[in-house]
Structures are given as structure tokens and as C-alpha cells.
Amino acid sequence: MSRSDFYKYHYQVDPKAGGFRLPADLNGGKGWRPKELGLIKYGLPERIWKGMPVPLKDAMAAVPFVDAPRFYDKLETSQ
């Protein structure tokens, strides 16, 4: 992921993110302004999904395939 891609990703997933400062020799020291690039922030569901780490997404994708009765029996016996 390039720095520019990261800035775009971070801006769209973080509800508090705004522009980012850049070194003075880049962009004439003006900084990185997402609104000038036409970027918009993701809505809550998309922000949660796209900001979630891949291992957690994998675990959530496996939930529909879990044998629920056997899974809950293991939870109850482990207590």
C-alpha cells in the first residue's frame, strides 16, 4: 500500500481524520487535502467492515458454518 493509498484508506475509515501534513518539499508544503481529491468518508457499516483486521473478518465469515449446538455445548462445559 502506498502512502497515498494509506492516507485515502485512513481518511475514509477514521471518522475523526481530516487532512494530513506533508513534508515541506511535497505539494509545496500545502499538505494532503482529501476534499480536494473528491474523497468521501464511508458510512458506519462500511467503515466497520473495511477498518476491521483480516483475521477478524475470517473468523466472522466462518460463523455461519459452525455447528451451533456442538459449539454451545463446548462453551457450557468449559465453564
pLDDT digits (tens, 9 = 90+) for 28-49: 767 778 888 888 999 999 998 8
From 7, 14, 15, select the one nearest 32 (Cα to Cα).
Answer: 7
Classify 20 as helix, strand or coil.
strand
Ranges in the chain, pLDDT < 50: none
pLDDT on residue 46: 92
Residue type, 71: F
Q: Is the pTM of this model over 0.75?
A: no
Q: What is d(CA 32, CA 70) in angstroms, rounded to the nearest whole number?
A: 52
pLDDT on residue 44: 92
Q: Which three cell numbers stand for residue 27?
A: 505539494
Classify 32 as helix, strand or coil.
strand
